[in-house]
A and B are shown apart, each in its own frame.
Chain A
Amino acid sequence: MSVINITDLEKIYRTEEVETVALNKISFEIKEGEFVAIMGPSGCGKSTLLNILGLLDDLDGGSFKFNDIEVSDFNERKRADMRKHNIGFVFQSFNLIDELTVFENVELPLIYTGIATAERKKMVDKVLDKIQIAHRRNHYPQQLSGGQQQRVAVARAVVNKPKLILADEPTGNLDSRNGNDVMQLLTDLNEQGTTIIMVTRSEHDSRYTHRVINMLDGQIVTQNIKV
């Protein structure tokens, strides 16, 4: 079963004078349980692609099926609904909310999907245990190291048990030791059945994945499937 199936996907940025084709008729499929890396130089369109896959951005042409449902014509509300139930995000700059504690940050997606308080507490505690940061649950993001912050961000992405995790250069702001920790965490999650798509510029990180999609100038160059 495919989680994502896109055909002839197009994204064009228009200003008054120029049209820039960010994504030029891209097609690919991602099956359930896959761990895929999207690689390419700056400006090749990989972040744009990730935003579209995350239902954060519109597409200008082509078809996009998420869980075999055509979502290209979804409005804002339907996309938000689809997003909160199925997709978790991990960003390069962590994007934790400074005013909330570790616990509250991780709890946030559960609030938005309408899960009851007691149930939420159980789920958050469980995931914080799993990433071994439960002792820091009442700390604020600034009180944590970068690696710890990114682990909290991963916890927040998975607490909802999403089908798909989208990670945008998750190790970009981390040193190699913390980076490895985060990659190991993602691998573990993948082994437990979560589909992961990760944008990265690191060859090292791409080795954790099943296959690499290489992009250049808005087009897919290779879709290298590894053993």
Chain B
Amino acid sequence: MFKNHVKIAFRNLFRNKSYAIINIIGLAIGIASTALIFLWVEDELTFNNYFSNKEQLFKIKDRQTYDGKTYVFDATPGPLAKSIKTDIPGIKYAARCTWGDQLLFSVKEKNIYSKGNYVDPDFLKMLHLDFLKGNANTAFSQLNSIVLTEKNATKFFGSIDVIGKSIKINNSESYIVSGVIKDLPENTSFNFEWLAPFKIFENKNSWLKEWGDNSIITYVETEPNANLADINKKIEKYITTKSEGSTVFLSLYSMNRWRLYDNFDEQGKEIDGSVKYVRLFSIIAWIILFIACINFMNLATASSEKRAKEVGVKKALGSDKKTLVVQFLSESLIMAFVAATLAIIITYAVLSPFNNLIQKHLSVAIFSPLHIVALLCITLLCGIISGSYPAFYLSSFNPVAILKGSKSNTNSGAGLIRKGLVIVQFSVSVILIICTIIIYKQIQHVKNRDIGYTKEGLLYTTLKGKLGKDFGSVKNNLLKIPEVKNACLNNSALLQSNSSSGDFEWPGKDASKSVLIGMEYVSPEYISTAGFNLKAGRDFYPDALADSTNIIINEALADLISKRDVVGTQIYRHDGGTKYTIVGVVKDFLYNSMYSKARPLMLFSDASKANYLTMRVNTNKNLKATLSKIETVIKTHNPDYYFIDEQFDKLFKTEALISTLAGVFASLAIFISCLGLFGLASYIAERRAKEISIRKVLGASVQLLTVLLTKDFLKLVIIACLIAFPLAGWFMYNWLQDYEYHIKLNAWIFVFAACLAISIAIVTVSFKAIKTAIANPIKSLRSE
């Protein structure tokens, strides 16, 4: 019996080749997209699984509330790690870690930039780093030691037998290699290429001894049986016991949440991070699969008239309904397995472009048990979903009616379901099109936003070696290049501001409310180089010392201080210290978030804390020549430089990726839907061939007939659009609320999406319709 089923199934696939191809290609694309999405989802969900003690690993979050709004940071005070390790029971290890440093490594002739962190010895133990050479206990016993990853060691020395070798750092000090660790897999939160003792960093930065300075990351591993609630309770107000009047609260934040959450609302409550995209794309994967299944259901029931006779004969010969259901199901299952095979090939073929797109290195790993089981389940599910409805529909035919040749009127019910399914397909496609357009427009909207200065032509380099100290002469040399307009020093790269404080006061300020203010330490050329506009007062004097107690603030801060002129007002920390006089107000420019309004900011005329050298160049002239001239000036210090506008584009990486992915899957959804529509149009054209011929003989023109054949499908697509509009609108409205600066939903986007879907549907259907309409009518009339 089973053999018979398989035989008939294959013969049917071959007999209806074009429909089989439509089904299989659609389903294969569906399964392949699902596979790609799930590979990505798997990678995201298994993030940090490399660490077997993941459940015990935390970083410490710091919460500060200003003006009713709670901000959550990773930054913690320097003394915290050592102190909580001794004070709070249940904490096994605690380690400080820098934010990540790019250092210039020199080994013999090689000069290579490499990223890594300064960390406490506990860090090596809590991550169970796999030492290929050396070991975690002794690696940091000497001060100037360094641990390299396997890949980095090979890059520098060509081997991993490098313990005791010396590496020159930033053309100044030397570190001795004390260990080589196995590379971490890509899907962990860490991407360091080297680790060096935190002590080195601590010795250079005295502020690390302050409890009031939240400036480094603290990682913690708890004892396996530790009571987390207890630890959290003890840690929450820990800083207030060390620094009186502090409003900084701490909490443990589990490694399980780092990747997909790590996002907080204004009450300081955790909200969804990128997990929402993981969820969203999982849903899209299922939907695309369902769209592909719909094709099979539709084409199978549409062609039911052809199969009716077979059903009638089989029933007359004694086959019961169950046998027929099994037969039709085995047909769809066979088709699903053929499609799955093709899907594996497609997945392998597009994996590398997909990896490029999502910036990952996923592999298909088809023989991993999880993947085999998942593929098998998806295939079975497709087979059953697509086969179940046609199976029950076809097997319920009345044999007497069929064999007598009377036309079955059962078709109208199936026709209705078919229409419903086409509407579902196109609704989804239109929703995806609308989302793609809106996400794209939102990104463009923000990218084209006036950020307060011209970002084109600004480039910066990080201060290495003596670049900062020699700034005077470097600047003179730079300005000798005619294309270089200006140069300055600043402590955060433009687009960002890394330091902030809530301690500042001014006359008339409500003492109960603290305001978080960004702080930038800059050389006097800062405003003129970046091209900010002064709104009131003056720029810094060229002699930085003359302005050592003066500041320039931005409009956002000025508005908070007073509605009137603020130049001359003094600002000071609540615990005393220097009183700074406002000498100028600069027009708002954006930093940190390009989606929100400018936040309050103060500029200090103090380049000693600078980390970057920023230049403005004329990009109209030969840029390449200009850059090579700049290189000769800064080469001895740091040959690397970055363009602000390129850095700006990088800020939209997530959104750009989501937009591209939405676009790709929208195209796939509409492609699969159109495959189905084409198949359905072919069937309808075939079924109505006689009617079309009669109409033609009676004088109907080709245009009229094309319209006749296309009209019914068009109606479905239009209904689909009407369903898609409110759903997409609601969905996108909510998405846009995540961004303070966002576009308004525009009716034209919806109209455009509808027109696009309708035209694609028209092209698909009319191709077949025109073919039918221009066919010679006597052919189908004669066949009677």
Name the CB-closest residue of A to B700: A112
Judge whether B701 and A95 touch: CB under 8 Å: no
- Chain B residues with Cβ below 8 Å from A142 are 407
Question: Contacting B699 at CB < 8 Å: which of A76, A84, A92, A98?
Answer: A84
Q: Once the chains are docked, how many angstroms separate the CA of A98 from the CA of B695?
A: 12
Asked if A122 CB lies within 8 Å of chain B CBs, one says: no
Question: Contacting A56 at CB < 8 Å: which of B407, B702, B778?
Answer: B778
Within 8 A of A (CB), among B695-717: 695-702, 704
Q: Once the chains are docked, how many angstroms separate the CA of A161 from the CA of B693?
A: 21
Question: Contacting B697 at CB < 8 Å: which of A85, A89, A99?
Answer: A89
Question: Contacting B704 at CB < 8 Å: which of A89, A97, A112?
Answer: A112
Name the CB-closest residue of A to B701: A80
Judge whether A56 and B776 touch: CB under 8 Å: yes
- Chain A residues with Cβ below 8 Å from B92 are none
- Chain A residues with Cβ below 8 Å from B695 are 97, 108, 112
Q: Once the chains are docked, how many angstroms separate the CA of A93 from the CA of B784?
A: 7
Judge whether A91 and B781 touch: CB under 8 Å: yes
**Contacts A80-B699, A112-B700 known; A95 to B778 CB distance under 8 Å?**
no
Asked if A20 CB lies within 8 Å of chain B CBs, one says: no
**Contacts A56-B776, A56-B778, A57-B776 known; A97 to B699 CB distance under 8 Å?**
no
Which size bracket describes the interface of B in this complex? 20 to 34
Within 8 A of B (CB), among A56-94: 56-57, 76-77, 80-81, 83-85, 89, 91-93
- Chain B residues with Cβ below 8 Å from A54 are 697
Judge whether A97 and B700 touch: CB under 8 Å: no
Asked if A156 CB lies within 8 Å of chain B CBs, one says: yes
Asked if B694 CB lies within 8 Å of chain A CBs, one says: yes
- Chain A residues with Cβ below 8 Å from B701 are 77, 80, 112
**Contacts A57-B778, A95-B781 known; A83 to B699 CB distance under 8 Å?**
yes
Interface of B is mostly: helix
Judge whether A51 and B778 touch: CB under 8 Å: yes
Judge whether B697 and A56 touch: CB under 8 Å: yes
- Chain A residues with Cβ below 8 Å from B697 are 54, 56, 83, 89, 95
Which of A77, A96, A112 is most buried by chain B, counting CB atoms within 10 A of its CB?
A: A112
Q: Once the chains are docked, how many angstroms separate the CA of A83 from the CA of B698?
A: 8
Judge whether A112 and B698 touch: CB under 8 Å: yes
Q: Once the chains are docked, how many angstroms separate the CA of A98 from the CA of B699?
A: 18
Q: Once the chains are docked, how many angstroms separate the CA of A142 from the CA of B406?
A: 10
Least distance between B778 CB and chain A CB atoms (Å): 5
Name the CB-closest residue of A to B704: A112
Name the CB-closest residue of B to A50: B778
**Contacts A95-B690, A97-B691 known; A112 to B699 CB distance under 8 Å?**
yes
Least distance between B358 CB and chain A CB atoms (Å): 51
Name the CB-closest residue of B to A51: B778
Least distance between A11 CB and chain B CB atoms (Å): 12
- Chain A residues with Cβ below 8 Å from B90 are none
Judge whether A97 and B778 touch: CB under 8 Å: no
Q: Once the chains are docked, how many angstroms separate the CA of A92 from the CA of B776?
A: 18
- Chain A residues with Cβ below 8 Å from B778 are 51, 56-57
- Chain B residues with Cβ below 8 Å from A96 are 694
User: A174-217 interface mask toward B, CB cutoff 8 Å, 1 = contact, 0 = none?
Assistant: 00000000000000000000000000000000000000000000
Q: Once the chains are docked, how many angstroms separate the CA of A112 from the CA of B777?
A: 16
Asked if A218 CB lies within 8 Å of chain B CBs, one says: no
Least distance between B22 CB and chain A CB atoms (Å): 26
Asked if A109 CB lies within 8 Å of chain B CBs, one says: yes
Within 8 A of A (CB), among B558-604: none
- Chain A residues with Cβ below 8 Å from B781 are 91, 93, 95
Within 8 A of B (CB), among A83-133: 83-85, 89, 91-93, 95-99, 108-109, 112-113
Name the CB-closest residue of A to B782: A47
- Chain A residues with Cβ below 8 Å from B777 are 56
Judge whether B776 and A95 touch: CB under 8 Å: no
Name the CB-closest residue of A to B693: A95
Least distance between B126 CB and chain A CB atoms (Å): 76
Q: Once the chains are docked, how many angstroms separate the CA of A189 from the CA of B695?
A: 23
Name the CB-closest residue of A to B691: A97
Least distance between B641 CB and chain A CB atoms (Å): 68
25 interchain pairs, CB-CB under 8 A: A47-B782, A56-B776, A57-B776, A57-B778, A76-B702, A80-B699, A83-B699, A84-B698, A85-B699, A89-B697, A91-B784, A93-B781, A93-B784, A95-B690, A95-B693, A95-B694, A95-B697, A96-B694, A97-B695, A98-B407, A98-B691, A108-B695, A109-B698, A112-B695, A112-B700
List 8 tightest A-B contacts by C-beta distance, closest first.
A84-B699, A112-B699, A93-B784, A109-B698, A95-B694, A97-B691, A51-B778, A112-B700
Please give 20 more A-B residue pairs, beta carbons under 8 A apart, in addition to A56-B778, A80-B701, A95-B694: A51-B778, A54-B697, A57-B776, A76-B774, A77-B702, A80-B696, A81-B699, A84-B699, A85-B699, A89-B698, A93-B784, A95-B781, A97-B691, A97-B694, A108-B695, A108-B698, A112-B695, A112-B698, A112-B700, A112-B701
